[in-house]
Amino acid sequence: MRRVLKFLAWKADWWEARRVAREVAGNDRLAEGLFAYAHEQANLQCQLKDKFEVLWKMPLEDMDREIEAESDADEEDSEDSSSEDSSEDDENVDI
C-alpha cells in the first residue's frame, strides 16, 4: 500500500512537470489545452492518493465491525417488514 501511495505522489509530480515540458510555439490554444490536461491529471493522482490514504488507515477489524453492523441493520429491517405483512394479512381474513 505504501508503494501505491508513493507511486501516485510521483505520478502527480510527473504530470506537473509535463505542464511545461512541451514547447508549443505559436499555438496558444494547444499550449493551454496541454497545460490544463496535465494539471487535471496531476489533481486526479493527488485525489486518488488522498482517497486511498483515508481508506487504508482504517484497520480491517473496524471494517469488519462496520460490515457486521450494516448487515444486522438490514436483517432487522427485513424482519420488521415481514411481521407487518403478516399482521395485515390477519386483519383482512373474512370469516
Within 8 A by CB and 6+ apart from 78, the residues are none
Measured CA to CA, the distance from residue 43 to residue 51 in angstroms comes to 12
Instruction: Please give the mean pLDDT across all residues of the chain.
Output: 83
pLDDT > 80? residue 36: yes
Sequence-distant (≥ 6) Cβ neighbours of residue 5 within 8 angstroms? 49, 52, 53
Residue 13 reports pLDDT greater than 90: yes
65/70 Cα distance (integer angstroms)? 9
Q: Is the pLDDT of residue 37 over 60?
A: yes
